Amino acid sequence: AADRPLGGVRLVVSAGGTREPIDPVRFIGNRSSGRQGVAIARAAAERGASVELVAANVESAVLEELDGAPEVRITPVGTAAELQAAMEAAAAAAAIVIMAAAVADYRPAGVSPGKIRKADHPDAPPTIELVQNPDILRGLVARRQPGQTIVGFAAETAESEEELLGLGRAKAERKGADLLVVNRVGWTEGFESVRNAVRVLDRSGEPVLRAEGSKREIAAALLDLLGR
Ligand code: C5P
């Protein structure tokens, strides 16, 4: 039906930001609120899709934005490794896979079993050795199911539109997703904010859409593009 353009379609979307533990009380994280991914989950459910939201440390106040929408299955995760496992499991049966979560590129090589204390480092600050996390999106692209559409996000700091599009193009080519949603982030833009401005690039890095507005409006514009 016209009001259920995604009826019968399975969609999985990740949202939020991973936290990589340093010790039992500390982590390396980022400022992603999960709002854009949650808005996509809601909009897709409203269009009839069967939606799984893989939520990386998304605050309950943000998840409440799903209230009143058709059911969305929520899988909470913490670390990049947990996010990867959840996405790979869900992607096996999904027609549309959207990686909106901000994933830590690195994690501490080891997690201290007890709290790191200043008293244990009297002479110099401790150092945290990092190891690289897998690129989840690239892994999903490598195992893409026949007919599956995969969407990535790229949050970039850029001085100009030209630089932003250049960074986006390089990332589109590197990741191999069908679409890459590029947005500018900084101290005052992007993360945590209710509004957003994005450029959507195709697999070769060509811009196919610009959208600006609330995260709900951006979600609608993106799903319109996917519905075509
Ligand atoms: O390389 P960058 O982090 O900018 O790429 C962003 C895109 O890649 C997002 O879709 C993000 O969810 C995904 N990503 C990932 N695994 C990582 C890093 C990023 O899936 N380790």
Across the range 25-54, mean pLDDT stands at: 97
pLDDT in tens, 167-221: 999 999 999 999 999 998 877 677 767 778 899 999 999 999 999 999 999 999 9
Which of helix, strand or coil describes residue 207? strand
Mean pLDDT of 44-52: 98
Go through the chain and tell me how many residues it has.
Answer: 228
Cα–Cα distance for residue pair 104/102, rounded to 1 Å: 7
Binding-site residues, ligand 1, Cβ < 6 A: 80, 99, 101, 103, 105, 133, 135-137, 152-154, 171
d(CA 98, CA 53): 10
Question: What is the signed CA dihedral for 160, 165, 170, 173, rounded to 10 degrees?
Answer: 170
How far is the centre of ligand 1, averaged over its atoms, from the C-alpha of 46 (Å)? 26
- Residue 70, marked binder: no
Best of 99, 156, 171 for a ligand 1 pocket test (most atoms within 8 Å of beta carbon) = 99
For ligand 1, atom 4: residue with the closest CA: 154
Q: First CA to last CA across the chain, in angstroms?
A: 14
| Residue % of the chain over a pLDDT of 90 | 90
3 state SS of 150: strand
The per-residue DSSP string of 66-113 comes to: GTTSSPEEEEEE-SHHHHHHHHHHHHTT-SEEEE-SB--SEEESS--S
How far apart CA 106 and CA 54 sit, in angstroms, is 20
Q: Which residues are catalytic?
A: 30
Q: Please write the tens of the pLDDT for every residue from 91-101.
A: 999 999 999 99
The pLDDT of residue 190: 72
pLDDT greater than 80 at residue 52: yes
CA of 188 to the centre of ligand 1 (A): 21
**What is the pLDDT confidence band of residue 3, given thresholds at 50, 70 and 90?**
confident
* Rg, Å, the chain Cα set: 18
Chain segment 56-73, per-residue pLDDT in tens: 999 999 999 999 999 999
pLDDT of 27 reads 98
Q: Using a pLDDT cut of 70, give the percent of the chain over it.
A: 98
Coil, strand, or helix at residue 224?
helix
**pTM reported for the whole predicted model:** 0.96
Ligand 1 atom with the shortest distance to the CA of 105: 21
